[in-house]
Amino acid sequence: MPTVHYTDAEGAVREVKATAGDSVMETAVRNGVPGIVAECGGSLSCATCHVFVAEQDLADLAPMEDMEDEMLYGTAVDRQMNSRLSCQLPLREDQTLHVQTPETQV
């Protein structure tokens, strides 16, 4: 079972057990994790599920596709090298991922 550690902008951490195949965004919304708005519901047409992925976890993710890269230029908080849209991060069985939410999504 995948696990996601969500850290908010103030440093509070929430560990959530996820379902393999679900995205980091779907897991956050389903579990009421604050900091991920997900206005478009995961259709890759907004940037309100922006997260910063922990450096040690970046290599474990699928490469970013062009559309996600483009959408990250529309985030409320400037993108960083470890920025991803959580709707584009499907979770694998036994995966552990650490993400931080920006101080705002809108």
**pTM of the complete model beyond 0.85:** yes
Indicate the average pLDDT of the chain: 97
Report the alpha-carbon distance of residue 12 to residue 22 in Å, rounded: 23
Task: Give the model's confidence band at 6: pLDDT under 50 very low, under 70 low, under 90 confident, else very high.
Answer: very high
Report the distance separating Cα 41 and Cα 24, nearest Å.
12
Domain-located, residue 41? yes
Structural domain contains residue 106: no
Residue 36: CATH number of its domain? 3.10.20.30
Which regions of the chain does DSSP assign to beta strands (E)?
A: 3-7, 13-17, 50-53, 83-85, 96-100
Structure token digits, residue 38: 């997900």
Domain count, the chain: 1
pLDDT tens readout for residues 32-83: 999 999 999 999 999 999 999 999 999 999 999 999 999 999 999 999 999 9
The answer to whether residue 105 is domain-embedded is: no
In a domain, 28, yes or no: yes
Which residue range is the domain that position 96 belongs to? 3-100
